[in-house]
Amino acid sequence: MKSYEQTFERVVGHARETALWVTTESALGWDERTKMPTAAAPYRTEQITFLAGVIHHRRTDAELGRWLAELSESPLAADPTSDSGATIRHLKRDYDKRVKLPQSLVEELARTASVAQHVWQDARARDDFSSFREVLGKMFVLKRAQADALGYTGSPYDALLDDYEPDESTANVARVLAELRDALVPLVAAIADSRRSPDEMILARHFPEAAQQRFGSMVAAKIGFDFGRGRLDVTAHPFCTSLGPHDCRITTRFDEQFFPTALFGILHEAGHGIYDQGLRTEWHGLPPGEAISLGIHESQSRLWENLVARSRPFWQHFFPMAQQAFPALADVELDDFFFAINHVRPSLIRVEADEATYNLHILIRFELEQALLAGDLKVADLPAAWNEKYHEYLGITPPDDADGVLQDIHWAAGLVGYFPTYSLGNLYASQFFAAADAELGGLGKQFAAGQFAELRHWLGEKIHSQGQRFTAAQLIERVSGKPLSHRPLIEHLRGKLAPLYQL
């Protein structure tokens, strides 16, 4: 046993050193999207490319492979859900995948992603897809090369999806999303037929940026985001990133003429941050201290953004404070505000979509990126295909590419296979929340009293502190007692929306 323990300590030490490089790369990435001067972009690309190569070399080190092969047959791996077992299992899985990728491909992907994100930002600002087309085409060529190198049994999309949702398949995700779509379509249609509609103009008054930042930060701290271990900044496309066990960065963007943009963006990213801050710091950089999957991570952001912050009890507590912070809300009634922030209406922008139609935005992206990866859709034809899908799924057509095909940064960043995790997150969130509500005896009263700690502690114990000990499928069943289903999300939506629209 002593020999195995020594080998395990070598693996742990190696992983901790790799985490230093990874978080350094994350720090440069955060700076690139928040503070970096434009002229610094070319050199930043070289820095990111260099670090990607260093990290890949460490993660595919032959000695690490030998250590993991030895440990995988040892007593330390006997229980795959123990801290040692999870560490060995996940690191070996990661090693076996990454060793298939040529270092030159890894570096070129990093270089292209860095360049493409700057091209995308400029293209969106100028509403000019043609200037983005070439680098986007190159990105999909590289992602197909990545899928081919990794190998797959079904679709090449499987190889890329696995990076974000381990052990998941394209076919299963398609099935789950189809079930969700089939339940959503009649609900959205019934809402449209109700002819009821809130006064959304109460959300489109003047809300000064400084006041939004103060109010959003206050609410994020109240639900549990620790600003002693994190901070909030502004970016073109909001994100959350961890630069270390006690350094979590969240971002948002402000619109002084539309209240929900920044606030719900802040709470979404704060949900991600609360998950990161709830991971076990003593295992930082190792599987017991890392998130299970992006779907599970997204469940935490969507839970706080939608199931908590779009609930009426939440605003029973915060609405008087909002009226104090924003004179534009002084004459607004709580019921009118609550209806306005939960209005169901097909919209162009994914990040501003309502809960009921949001997943239709994801289906569009899921289908298009599979077609691009397979070569069934040319990049040059993407804007037209995008607009056709929006007309088919949502009954609207983008007036331009800036609010159409150029609205998301994901493909520029090489995040192909990422989008379906958003819908999986919505499903996980509803199922987790239903379990928490039942176990904690009704969360609405707590929210109305401004109490969020009990839910946060429950999530920390059941989800955050578990790290990667379980798969996403195992975790949802452990926590809720049932496999993943679309029904809790549909029940949540019907429960909130039926009274508003008198269904």
- Tell me how far apart the alpha carbons of residues 58 and 65 are, in angstroms, rounded to a whole number: 10
Amino acid 12 reads V
Q: Is residue 485 packed enough to be buried (19+ CB in 10 Å), middle (13-18) or exposed (0-12)?
A: middle
Residues 468, 7, 247: CA angle, nearest 5 degrees: 45
Q: How many CB atoms lie within 10 A of CB 483?
A: 10
Phi, psi of 198 (to 5 degrees): -80, 170
Q: What count of other Cβ atoms lies within 10 Å of the Cβ of residue 68?
A: 23
Active site residue 269: yes
Look at residues 461, 140, 177, 437 and name the one whose alpha carbon lies nearest to residue 295: 177
Q: What is the 3-state secondary structure (H, E, C) of 191-202?
A: HHHHCCCCCHHH
**Cβ atoms 250, 294 nearer than 8 A:** no
Q: What strands, in cross-sheet order, belong to the sheet with 240-244?
A: 230-234, 247-252, 240-244
Is the sign of the CA dihedral 59, 65, 69, 75 positive or negative?
negative
Please state whether 452 falls in left (phi above 0), alpha (psi between -120 and 50) or beta: alpha
User: Which residue among 168, 269, 305, 355 is the active-site one?
Assistant: 269
Structure tokens given for 79:
């229980």
Residues with a known catalytic role: 269
